[in-house]
Amino acid sequence: MKNHLLWAIETLKKQGYDLNADPALVQQAPWSEVTRFSTPHENFYLKKTPSALLLEIEVIQTLKKDFHISVPTIIANNPEEHCFLMNDAGIPLRAFFKEGLNADIFTKTLENYANFQSISANNLPRFFDIGVPDWRLAKLPFLYQELVNQETVLQQFGLTNEEINQCQDLSEHFQNICEKLGAYNIPNTFGHCDFHDNNVLIHPETHQTTMIDLGEVVVTHPFFSLLNMLNHVKESCNLTLQQVDELQQQALKPWLKLESLSNMQTMMTLIQQCWLIHAILGIYRLMLCVDPIEFSNIACKNHFATKLRTWINLSR
C-alpha cells in the first residue's frame, strides 16, 4: 500500500477511527487523487495533489478562518506526501439535482459565493501572500501572450502553425475585451477556476453547501467562475436558454450595489467571448503542475486544442 494511504489509516486510528472497508479510490487524475475511508461513524476523504497545488490547504484554512466560508474541514495534512485528510461534507450538487434543479438552493449557493467574492475584493493581498496566482484583468493579456508563444507546446496539443499564428494575432482582441471589462465597477476577486455543480457539496438533510477542490483558485474577475457554473448546470440539468438567463439575473443581484443589471449583462456577454481563454489558462496551469507524460495522455489535451479552435472561430 502506498505511503500516503498508510499515513491516512494510521492518522485515523490515532484519532479513534477504525476502517470498516478497504480504502476506495473515488477520483484519479494527474492533478488529483481522492480516496474514501469508511468508518462506522462517518466517511473521510484523503486528497493527494502535485506540490504546486498543495496551496489548497492554506486556501481552505484561510477561507474558513478569515472569511467563515463553508469549506472542507481538514483533520490532518502531510506536506511530504502532498496530501490531506478531510471530513465528509455531503454529495455533489449535480447528484442532488439529478431529478431536477432546485432553483432556490442553486441561487442561494451563487448568492453566498458572490457575497464572499465581494468581500474578498478588499483582501486580495491575503490571497497573494499564500500563493494564489494573479489573474486580474490587467494581467490576463500577458498570460495569454505567454501561452500562445509556447509554439512547441501548442504543436504537441495538435494545433497547426496556421492556428498558432491565428491565436497570436488575436492577442490584441483579447486585450481589448479585458480592457472593456475593466472599465466597469465590478472588481477583481477570489475566483474558483473550476467552480461547477460537482465542486459544491450539499448535506442532503440540512442543505448546507460546501465549496471544494480549492487548489485551482486565482484572483480574477468574478464573472468567469459564474459563467462556468451556469454552463455546467445548463448541461447537467438540461436547462433552456431562458432558464439560464433567469438564473444569471438572480446571480447578478448581489453586485447591483456596484453596477446596473444592464451593464452586468453586457459584461456577461464580454465574459462569454473570452471565457474559453480563462478555461484554457486553467488547463495550461494544470499541465505545468503535473508530469508532462501523464498529462499528454488525458482528455484535457483534446479539450485544450478544441477550446483554442473554438476561440479562433468565435473571434473571426
Nearest to 53 by CA among 194, 223, 158: 194
**Same-domain check for residues 155 and 37:** no
Which of residues 31, 56, 87 is at a domain's end?
A: 87
Element spanning 44, H or E: strand 43-48
Query: What number of other Cβ atoms are within 10 A of residue 203's Cβ?
Result: 15
Nearest to 173 by CA among 268, 270, 279, 263: 270
Domains of the chain: total: 2
Please check whether residues 206 and 251 belong to one and the same domain.
yes
Per-residue CA distances from 53 to 88, 131, 137, 203, 246 (Å): 21, 10, 22, 26, 35
Calpha distance 144→250 (Å, rounded): 31
Nearest to 77 by CA among 58, 63, 50, 52: 58
- What values do phi and psi take at 65, rounded to 5? -75, -45
Please say whether the beta carbons of 190 and 127 come within 8 A. yes
Q: Could you tell me which residues come within 8 angstroms of residue 26 by beta carbon, excluding any fewer than 6 positions away?
A: 34, 35, 36, 45
Q: Are residues 8 and 125 in the same domain?
A: no
Q: How far apart are CA 231 and CA 247, in angstroms?
A: 11
CATH number for 231: 3.90.1200.10
Cβ neighbours around 162 below 10 Å, total: 9
Determine the pLDDT at residue 297. 61
Amino acid at site 174: F
- For residue 248, the model assigns a pLDDT of 97
Q: Indicate whether 122 and 231 sit together in one domain.
A: yes
Q: In the chain, where does DSSP find H-type helix?
A: 3-14, 56-67, 93-96, 103-120, 124-129, 140-148, 151-156, 161-169, 171-182, 223-236, 241-252, 261-289, 292-296, 300-314
Residues 52 and 166 placed together within one structural domain of the fold: no
Give the pLDDT confidence score for residue 290 in this predicted structure.
Answer: 83
CATH of the domain at 68: 3.30.200.20
Query: Which pLDDT score is estimated for 296?
Result: 62
On whether the CB atoms of residues 272 and 227 are closer than 8 A, the answer is: yes
**Are the C-beta atoms of residues 212 and 89 closer than 8 Å to each other?**
yes
CB contact at 8 A, 90 and 198: no
Last residue of a domain, one of 55, 87, 119: 87
- Are both 209 and 191 inside the same structural domain? yes
Tell me: do 191 and 78 sit in the same domain. Answer: no
pLDDT of residue 300: 62
Are 251 and 304 contained in the same domain? yes
Q: Which domain holds residue 279?
A: 92-314
CA proximity to 91, closest of 227, 217, 205, 234? 205
Spatial CB neighbours of 78, under 8 Å, sequence gap ≥ 6: 4, 7, 84
Answer yes or no: do 17 and 111 share one domain: no
CA dihedral 141, 146, 148, 154 (to 10 degrees): -140
- Please indicate, yes or no, whether residues 178 and 81 belong to a single structural domain of this protein: no
Digit-by-digit pLDDT tens for the chain (316 residues) are: 899 999 999 999 999 999 999 999 999 988 899 999 999 989 999 999 999 999 999 999 999 999 999 999 999 999 999 999 999 999 999 999 999 999 999 999 999 999 999 999 999 999 999 999 999 999 999 999 999 999 998 998 889 999 999 999 999 999 999 999 999 999 999 999 999 999 999 999 999 999 999 999 999 999 999 999 999 999 999 999 999 999 999 999 999 999 999 999 999 999 999 999 999 999 889 888 887 666 666 556 677 889 999 999 999 8
| Same domain, residue pair 111 and 23 | no
Rounded distance between C-alpha atoms, residue 93 and residue 227, angstroms? 16
Indicate the residue among 87, 119, 151 that finishes a domain. 87
Are residue 75 and residue 114 in the same domain, yes or no? no
